[in-house]
């Protein structure tokens, strides 16, 4: 180990020890060694029995529950080779490329902030994104620990050395463990012979984002500027077991998971396509949604997730 490497290791250990000893001061800490970092998509990987499939997602726009992570990871290397700094405006996501900029909007208070995704997680199944401790404070949910949020992809982020890559080098794209070797077969299920199933009336879709202020007028890079957006009048938490373009497939899933109780099918038109969602809820409490999610996962429904609707 070189003397420089030993010095960096000593600094990192000192910072970690200080973090464990007491409250961390506000603002950046200059003694942290900053890694280079690369642009990475990565291949599918498995955590706690669940497979995740990183990919380019320029149209990513989802709702769910956010959490935050701090001191145990402070000073450690992130999934794309940068150094985690709890006082920076960063985040962890399971499948988005890294680094990219996303807008996180707290649907409970309207606070909206741009963060840089440079790590993998969260691996608690009921969470959609993990933000840094500083970002959680700015978004107003640091004390509570979680919040109902909307996460929207904005752009690829600059690398620490400057510049935004146009494509993912193959060696970097293969940096995560390989996908399962067996080929996945996918096909729509045929309707049951002799039955005539009518789809239910469409449920109200979640309204489009408020056009004022327009996205062009908002920050596209992590600046620490918090934008105050309109607070939705009502938001509810649902646990979604699956979504299908064919109603009969949704009905079959609902029937298979009947022991979970109170599953319903609701329809939504998205991008000119009607989807039938199998869900349970609404819940106003995250703990109740977590319990419902655990029940669906226990029944073998590995695609179940928590979503937030207005």
Question: Could you tell me where in the chain the CATH 2.40.40.10 domains are found?
Answer: 51-158+214-232
Residue 128 has pLDDT above 60, yes or no: yes
296, 257 Cβ separation under 8 angstroms: yes
Interval 246-258: pLDDT, tens: 999 999 999 999 9
In sequence order, the 6+-apart residues with CB closer than 8 A to the CB of 219 are 114, 225, 227
**In the structure, what pLDDT confidence band is assigned to residue 26 with cuts at 50, 70 and 90?**
very low
The proportion of the chain whose per-residue pLDDT surpasses 70, expressed as a percent, equals 69
Instruction: Tell me how far apart the alpha carbons of residues 111 and 105 are, in angstroms, rounded to a whole number.
Output: 6
Residue 284 is predicted with a pLDDT of: 85
Instruction: Tell me how far apart the alpha carbons of residues 287 and 211 are, in angstroms, rounded to a whole number.
Output: 32
**In the structure, what pLDDT confidence band is assigned to residue 267 with cuts at 50, 70 and 90?**
very high
Q: What is the mean pLDDT of the chain?
A: 77
How far, in whole angstroms, is CA 65 from its chain's centroid?
8
Interval 186-199: pLDDT, tens: 344 444 444 333 34
Q: Identify the sign of the CA torsion 144, 149, 152, 153.
A: positive
CA angle 205, 209, 214 (to 5 degrees): 160
CATH superfamily of 51-158+214-232: RlpA-like domain (2.40.40.10)
Interval 28-51: pLDDT, tens: 333 344 556 889 998 899 888 788
Residue 106 has pLDDT above 70, yes or no: yes
**Among 138, 153, 53, which Cα is nearest to 101's?**
153
Instruction: Tell me how far apart the alpha carbons of residues 102 and 170 are, in angstroms, rounded to a whole number.
Output: 24
CATH 3.10.180.10 fits 233-309, yes or no: no
119, 70 Cβ separation under 8 angstroms: no
């Amino acid at each position: 180990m070189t003397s420089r490497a030993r010095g960096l290791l000593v600094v990192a250990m000192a910072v970690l020890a200080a973090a464990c000893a007491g409250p961390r001061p506000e603002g950046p800490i200059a003694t942290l060694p900053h890694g280079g970092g690369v642009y990475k998509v990565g291949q599918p990987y498995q955590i706690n029995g669940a497979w995740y499939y990183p990919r380019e997602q320029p149209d990513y726009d989802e709702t769910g529950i956010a959490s935050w992570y701090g001191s145990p990871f402070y000073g450690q290397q992130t999934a794309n080779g940068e150094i985690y700094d709890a006082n920076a405006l960063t985040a962890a996501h399971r499948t988005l490329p890294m680094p990219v900029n996303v807008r996180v909007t707290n649907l409970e208070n309207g606070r909206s902030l741009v963060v840089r995704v440079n790590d993998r997680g969260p691996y608690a199944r009921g969470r959609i994104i993990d933000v840094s401790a500083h970002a959680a404070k700015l978004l107003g949910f640091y004390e509570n620990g979680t919040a109902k949020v909307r996460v929207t992809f904005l752009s690829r982020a600059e690398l620490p050395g400057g510049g935004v890559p146009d494509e993912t080098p193959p060696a970097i794209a293969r940096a995560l463990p390989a996908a399962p070797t067996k080929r996945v077969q996918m096909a729509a299920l045929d309707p049951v012979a002799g039955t005539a199933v009518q789809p239910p009336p469409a449920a109200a879709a979640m309204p489009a984002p408020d056009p004022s202020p327009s996205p062009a007028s908002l920050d596209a890079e992590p600046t620490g500027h918090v934008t105050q957006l309109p607070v939705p009048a009502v938001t509810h938490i649902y646990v979604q077991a699956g979504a299908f373009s064919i109603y009969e497939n949704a009905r079959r899933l609902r029937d298979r998971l009947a022991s979970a109780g109170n599953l319903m099918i609701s329809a939504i038109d998205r991008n000119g396509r009607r989807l039938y969602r199998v869900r349970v809820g609404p819940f106003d409490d995250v703990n109740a949604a977590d319990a419902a999610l655990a029940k669906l996962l226990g029944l073998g429904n590995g695609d179940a997730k928590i979503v937030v609707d207005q």
